[in-house]
């Protein structure tokens, strides 16, 4: 347990600050990494690690977290054990370190991909004291042989990279991370720990400190503002329009690297083929591909043999490609955290980075649908995270402000000038009367129906189901037929976000009125909404990703049919812009 841990003994870690030799960090930076100066708080962080204190670094993607443990690892006696969640990530890091140092044995990784022979090389280098950094997967530490081996070695410190994986409130929960404290204690409880993450939500932070058992850690928190990133949300109305818009964008950004994130594997393949057919070098990447192919495609992207990688969230963590010029989200991400991380991969060199999210209500339902088989607690967490994502997408407020406030940072009310909402402010309308109408409708329906049915009632859309329930005779039937269905849909979403309503996902998304909603009915007040007809799905031929498990093949056929038809249609028009040469 964390509380039973002893203070680190300075003898074991031989921290330079406590010995008579002071290390010139500046020259180490120059000599080992070829950089002229430290970025942000790197120097202070490194000093904290070298002083033997537990250290917690919260720094956005691209901030330069790796150096915060790599440099101290090189200058400290013994080896630093670096926990990293992904095999691809480890390899990437080790390759980088080796390229700096010109000595291959300075860094190694130990994971399930190594052969017995390779493991022996690692062991030999470790025992000979040649290796300063050992990257391990959390699973590696759960193996008793490894634990025994490590407990006989001099460990300079433990670094836990991507430490948010320890929290289910993070965007990448990895249960094995929960066992790390135990494993580290078994190896040597006195070794200091540095935990690093780009996740800044207070909930995740406290989870990390608690679960990793950090003792009185020195915390370094950097700003999360990425001022060079341009954030934009575009409506995803018709699938073919969305595809065209993507192709057009990429073709007009010739030679610029980018990532497209999609919700499911099939779509990565489809979009990649579609881009290829349009002359864009693109590959798909997802967890369903074997690891060799994944590594190969990752390398192709890093080496610019391909321009675009179309991927599920399986791609990107820790990828060090500084000149990614755009990140497109083809589906709404399942949390703001995910969105921030994924968009954060653009413009890491500080230059232009465009982040475009195609948003539709249908995609939100798909995400909700995907959660239906998860245990209740996970579903509740998931629903809340999705709601925040939706709030972001539908918000008329500065995107940067919404993102930063999610991380507890106040951007103030200035115009950031680098997001769609700041460049084209959206109009707001008063919807007090409409909110009352909606609440009355839900009351009249005894809080027993989900959004779609409620919309039909409000707009007076007579369906067999409504006839069956004889709801066409209730007073609220058609109460809002002066407004289109998408207006009411948007209103419901904004009422959900303002906590006037809640959705019971246990019960198929039935709409319930919250305490705050009842209070509103008692005493209505101003309720301003942003008009979002922009985001309404005009037709349902959008890809059926959410129902992929059930109807993947059908959705496939539909896409190809659609592309074929589109191509024929376009061919009929005489002049073909370059982006409409669709699949054969």
Binding site for ligand ADP (CB under 6 A): 35, 38-39, 42, 59, 61-67, 320, 322, 348
Minimum Å distance from CB 65 to Mg ion?
A: 5
Asked if 393 and 186 touch (Cβ cutoff 8 Å), the reply is no
Minimum Å distance from CB 35 to ligand ADP?
A: 4
43 binds, among Mg ion, ligand ADP, none (CB under 5 to 8 A by kind): none
What gap in Å lies between CA 441 and CA 480, rounded to an integer?
Answer: 10
Choose one: 9-17, 315-323, 326-334, 552-560; the region binding Mg ion (CB under 5 A): 315-323
What gap in Å lies between CA 65 and CA 78, rounded to an integer?
Answer: 21
Minimum Å distance from CB 161 to Mg ion?
A: 6
62 binds, among ligand ADP, Mg ion, none (CB under 5 to 8 A by kind): ligand ADP
Q: 320 or 380, CB closer to ligand ADP?
A: 320
Q: Which pair of tokens denotes residue 329?
A: 């989200």
Q: Which residues pair with 259 in a beta bridge?
A: 309, 327
Q: Which pair of tokens denotes residue 85?
A: 């969640």
Residues near Mg ion (CB under 5 A), total = 2
Minimum Å distance from CB 211 to ligand ADP?
A: 21
Q: 162 or 420, CB closer to ligand ADP?
A: 162
Q: 65 or 91, CB closer to Mg ion?
A: 65
350 binds, among Mg ion, ligand ADP, none (CB under 5 to 8 A by kind): none
Minimum Å distance from CB 293 to Mg ion?
A: 24
67 binds, among Mg ion, ligand ADP, none (CB under 5 to 8 A by kind): ligand ADP
Q: Which residue in this structure is represented by tokens 């409000």?
A: 458
Tell me how far CA of residue 29 lies from CA of 13, 65, 67, 100, 262, in angstroms. Answer: 21, 14, 9, 11, 39
Burial class of 573 by CB neighbour count within 10 A (0 to 12, 13 to 18, 19+): exposed
Minimum Å distance from CB 210 to ligand ADP?
A: 23
Q: Whose CA is closest to 352, among 316, 320, 327?
A: 327
Choose one: 76-84, 147-155, 206-214, 310-318; the region binding Mg ion (CB under 5 A): 310-318
Asked if 6 and 189 touch (Cβ cutoff 8 Å), the reply is yes
Asked if 250 and 307 touch (Cβ cutoff 8 Å), the reply is yes
Q: Whose CA is closest to 387, among 403, 367, 370, 401?
A: 367
Dihedral sign computed on CA atoms, order 290, 296, 302, 307:
negative
Q: 8 or 316, CB closer to ligand ADP?
A: 316
Q: 182 or 320, CB closer to ligand ADP?
A: 320
347 binds, among ligand ADP, Mg ion, none (CB under 5 to 8 A by kind): none
Instruction: Please give the helix or strand (H or E) that residue 109 lies within, else none.
Output: strand 107-110
Q: 93 or 418, CB closer to Mg ion?
A: 93
Q: 65 or 244, CB closer to ligand ADP?
A: 65
Q: 193 or 580, CB closer to ligand ADP?
A: 193
Q: 59 or 495, CB closer to ligand ADP?
A: 59
85 binds, among ligand ADP, Mg ion, none (CB under 5 to 8 A by kind): none
Choose one: 117-125, 317-325, 330-338, 576-584; the region binding Mg ion (CB under 5 A): 317-325
408 binds, among ligand ADP, Mg ion, none (CB under 5 to 8 A by kind): none
Asked if 363 and 331 touch (Cβ cutoff 8 Å), the reply is yes
CA angle 295, 296, 297 (to 5 degrees): 95
Q: Which residues pair with 356 in a beta bridge?
A: 232, 328
Angle between helical axes of 485-497 and 376-394 (0-180°, round to 10): 120
Q: 98 or 238, CB closer to ligand ADP?
A: 98
Strand residue runs (E) in 229-386: 229-235, 257-261, 282-285, 308-311, 324-329, 353-359
395 binds, among Mg ion, ligand ADP, none (CB under 5 to 8 A by kind): none
- Pick from 318, 353, 382, 517: which binds Mg ion (CB under 5 A)? 318
Minimum Å distance from CB 62 to ligand ADP?
A: 5
Q: 62 or 213, CB closer to ligand ADP?
A: 62
Minimum Å distance from CB 322 to ligand ADP?
A: 5
Q: 78 or 318, CB closer to Mg ion?
A: 318
Binding mask of the shown chain, residues 43 to 82, with x at each position contacting Mg ion by CB under 5 A = ----------------------x-----------------
What are residue 135's phi and psi, to 5 degrees? -85, 130
Minimum Å distance from CB 63 to ligand ADP?
A: 4
CB neighbour list of residue 414: distance below 8 Å, 6 or more residues apart: none
What gap in Å lies between CA 195 and CA 193, rounded to an integer?
Answer: 6
39 binds, among Mg ion, ligand ADP, none (CB under 5 to 8 A by kind): ligand ADP
Asked if 337 and 315 touch (Cβ cutoff 8 Å), the reply is no
Minimum Å distance from CB 130 to ligand ADP?
A: 23
320 binds, among Mg ion, ligand ADP, none (CB under 5 to 8 A by kind): ligand ADP
Asked if 546 and 386 touch (Cβ cutoff 8 Å), the reply is no
Minimum Å distance from CB 159 to Mg ion?
A: 11
Asked if 362 and 540 touch (Cβ cutoff 8 Å), the reply is yes
What gap in Å lies between CA 231 and CA 402, rounded to an integer?
Answer: 11
Q: 163 or 308, CB closer to ligand ADP?
A: 163
38 binds, among ligand ADP, Mg ion, none (CB under 5 to 8 A by kind): ligand ADP
Minimum Å distance from CB 345 to ligand ADP?
A: 9
DSSP state at residue 219 = E
Minimum Å distance from CB 198 to ligand ADP?
A: 6
CA angle 110, 111, 113 (to 5 degrees): 120
User: What do you get for the CA distance between the two ends of the chain, in Å?
Assistant: 61
364 binds, among Mg ion, ligand ADP, none (CB under 5 to 8 A by kind): none
Binding site for Mg ion (CB under 5 A): 65, 318
């Amino acid at each position: 347990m964390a509380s039973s841990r002893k203070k680190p003994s300075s003898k074991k870690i031989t921290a330079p600050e406590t010995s008579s030799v002071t290390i010139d960090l500046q020259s180490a930076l120059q000599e080992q990494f070829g950089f002229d100066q430290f970025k942000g708080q790197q120097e202070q962080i490194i000093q904290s690690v070298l002083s033997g204190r537990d250290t917690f670094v919260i720094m956005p993607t691209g901030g330069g977290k790796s150096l915060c443990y790599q440099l101290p690892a090189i200058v400290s006696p013994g080896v630093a054990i670096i926990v990293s969640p992904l095999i691809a990530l480890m390899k990437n890091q080790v390759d980088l370190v080796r390229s700096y140092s010109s000595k291959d044995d300075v860094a190694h990784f130990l994971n399930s991909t190594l052969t017995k022979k390779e493991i022996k090389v690692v062991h030999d280098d470790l025992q000979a004291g040649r290796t300063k950094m050992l990257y391990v997967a959390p699973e590696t530490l759960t193996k008793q042989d490894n634990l025994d081996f490590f407990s006989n070695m001099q460990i300079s410190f433990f670094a836990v990279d991507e430490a948010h994986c320890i929290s289910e409130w993070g965007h990448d929960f990895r249960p094995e991370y929960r066992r790390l404290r135990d494993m580290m204690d078994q190896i040597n409880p006195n070794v200091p720990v540095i935990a690093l993450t780009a996740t800044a939500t207070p909930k995740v932070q406290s989870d990390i400190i608690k679960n990793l058992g950090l003792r009185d850690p020195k915390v370094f928190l950097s700003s999360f503002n990425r001022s060079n990133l341009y954030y934009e949300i575009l409506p995803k109305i018709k699938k073919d329009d969305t595809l065209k818009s993507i192709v057009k964008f990429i073709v007009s950004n010739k030679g610029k690297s980018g990532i497209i994130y999609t919700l499911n594997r099939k779509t990565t393949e489809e979009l990649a083929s579609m881009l290829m057919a349009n002359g864009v070098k693109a590959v798909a990447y997802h967890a369903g591909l074997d690891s060799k192919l994944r590594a190969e495609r990752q390398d192709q992207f890093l080496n610019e043999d391909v321009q675009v990688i179309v991927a599920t969230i399986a791609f990107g963590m820790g990828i060090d490609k500084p000149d990614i010029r755009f990140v497109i989200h083809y589906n709404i991400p399942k949390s703001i955290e995910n969105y921030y991380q994924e968009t954060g991969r653009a413009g890491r060199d500080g230059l232009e980075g465009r982040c475009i999210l195609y948003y539709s209500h249908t995609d939100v339902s798909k995400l909700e649908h995907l959660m239906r088989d998860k245990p209740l607690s996970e579903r509740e967490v998931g629903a809340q995270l999705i709601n925040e994502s939706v709030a972001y997408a539908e918000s008329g407020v500065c995107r940067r402000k919404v993102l930063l406030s999610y991380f507890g940072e106040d951007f103030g009310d200035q115009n950031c000038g680098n997001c769609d909402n700041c460049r084209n402010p959206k109009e707001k309308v008063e919807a007090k009367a409409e909110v009352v109408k909606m609440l009355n409708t839900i009351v009249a329906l005894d809080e027993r129906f989900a959004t779609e049915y409620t919309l039909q009632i409000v707009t007076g859309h007579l369906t067999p189901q409504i006839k069956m329930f004889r709801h066409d005779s209730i007073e609220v039937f058609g109460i809002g037929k002066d407004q289109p269905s998408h207006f009411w849909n948007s209103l419901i979403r904004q009422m959900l976000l303002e906590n006037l309503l809640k959705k019971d996902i246990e019960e198929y998304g039935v709409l319930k009125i919250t305490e705050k909603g009842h209070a509103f009915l008692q005493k209505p007040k101003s309720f301003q909404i942003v008009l979002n007809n922009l985001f309404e799905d005009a037709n349902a031929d959008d890809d059926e990703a959410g129902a992929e498990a059930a109807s993947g093949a059908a959705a496939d056929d539909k896409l190809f049919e659609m592309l074929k038809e589109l191509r024929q249609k376009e061919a009929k028009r005489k002049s073909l812009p370059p982006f409409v040469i669709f699949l054969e």
